Amino acid sequence: MTTARSGKEPKPKFEAAAPVRMKDIARDMGLSTMTISKALRNHPDISDETRKRVLKRIKELNFQPNLAARALITGRTSTIGLVVPDLLHPFFAQVAKAVSAGTRGHGYSLIITSSEDDQALERQEIDQLLARRVDVMLIASAQTTEESFRRIEERGIPYILIDRLITGLPANFVGVDDEAVGFLAASHLIDQGYRRIAHIRGPDTSTALGRVLGYRRALAARQLAPLPGHIVSIGSSGDDRGEPGGYAAARKLLRARQRPDGIFCFNDPIALGAMRAILDAGLRIPEDIAVVGCGNVLYSDFLRVPLTSVDQDSAAIGRLAAELALALVGPKPPVRPKTELIEPKLVVRASSLRK
């Protein structure tokens, strides 16, 4: 770049160089802005030779188009919004990581926000992303109603539900088969000889409901049924859902008229809390009570008692979600909502192995 830039630069501010614009390159090469633009976007309306020359110069000058300007005229921002309930939760961290990896190199930036498992906050975050006109949204939602999603649809922005379904909403979905999760976990406990199998369930999301269903089905398949008080719920405030919530829930189970000899927990942090409660009560795992978690994202092998857990392959969820997202913003997006169900796998460790 040898020619000076047009216009009057107010002050030659020390070291705060304005980025190169198409106009600059155009003047530099004796072409029109349009030609640069066409070259950059592989528009057919230009000769191969010119395109090569322009691209070479673009690389030399390290030119990057102003995405705000492009967004203004095209209406596409080249951004993807991702809403998760908690970035610290290893499951969602892994999903985020995989989505990030899956969209890398496609020219999109990922705006990641956390809802802290709070419905109102999640609606705000979704509104922010709408205001920002993301091209597609990925949401692991804490919502129980479809209202926010109607707003997204009104704007014509495609979105994908991750991990959690919203009943009555025919949306794109990538997640695990939660009924299979519950079935797998409970069946395993029965197979190991446990009979009084309890469940610490999660809050009112499709995920929790599906797992309860699978758990019940597994018991029923062996002519068993949950004993009274053997399904306990985690508090609905976000803070109770992890380890402390698991501790409290397990204590409740230990006081039940018939003490369970196996507990299937909604997720691993809850299982951790449950294990602590059991050990604190002077009981042994798995001799007195077996524990199965879900997620398999913790360092489960290193726990006091290595934890049997249902693996949801969160990396695959993130990867598939990223692929679907790119398809939705691509040239010929699928018209019908697509559902990708991952089959869960059980990873057996000491916490559920009857000797």
Q: Is the peptide bond before 286 cis (omega within 30 degrees of 0)?
A: yes
24 scored as a contact of a second copy (CB under 8 A)? no
Binding mask 69-88 for a second copy (x = CB under 8 A): x-xx----x-x------xxx
Rounded Cα distance between 123 and 278, Å, is 38
Angle at 160 between CA 159 and CA 164, to 5 degrees: 135
Rounded Cα distance between 318 and 102, Å, is 8
- Residue whose token pair is 């042994």: 284
CB within 8 A of 344, min separation 6: which ones? 176, 177, 180, 181, 184, 310, 311, 312, 313
353 scored as a contact of a second copy (CB under 8 A)? no
Q: From the CB of 81, what's the least distance to DNA, in Å? A: 19
240 scored as a contact of a second copy (CB under 8 A)? no
Tell me if 109 sits within 8 A of 80, measured CB to CB: yes
Binding residues (CB under 7 A) for DNA: these are 7, 18, 21-23, 30-35, 37, 40-41, 44-50, 65-66, 69-70, 72-74
CB within 8 A of 236, min separation 6: which ones? 203, 204
Which of 23, 51, 53, 133 touches a second copy (CB under 8 A)? 133
Rounded Cα distance between 285 and 291, Å, is 7
Nearer to DNA, 109 or 145 (CB): 109
304 scored as a contact of a second copy (CB under 8 A)? yes
Nearer to a second copy, 263 or 298 (CB): 298
Residues 135-174 that bind a second copy (CB under 8 A): 153-156
Q: From the CB of 86, what's the least distance to a second copy, in Å? A: 7
Q: From the CB of 83, what's the least distance to a second copy, in Å? A: 11
CB within 8 A of 126, min separation 6: which ones? 81, 83, 137, 139, 148, 151, 152
291 scored as a contact of a second copy (CB under 8 A)? no
Residues within the interface to a second copy (CB under 8 A): 13, 15-17, 19, 64-69, 71-72, 77, 79, 86-88, 90, 93-94, 96-97, 100-101, 109-114, 116, 127-133, 153-156, 243, 269, 272, 275-276, 298-299, 301-304, 306
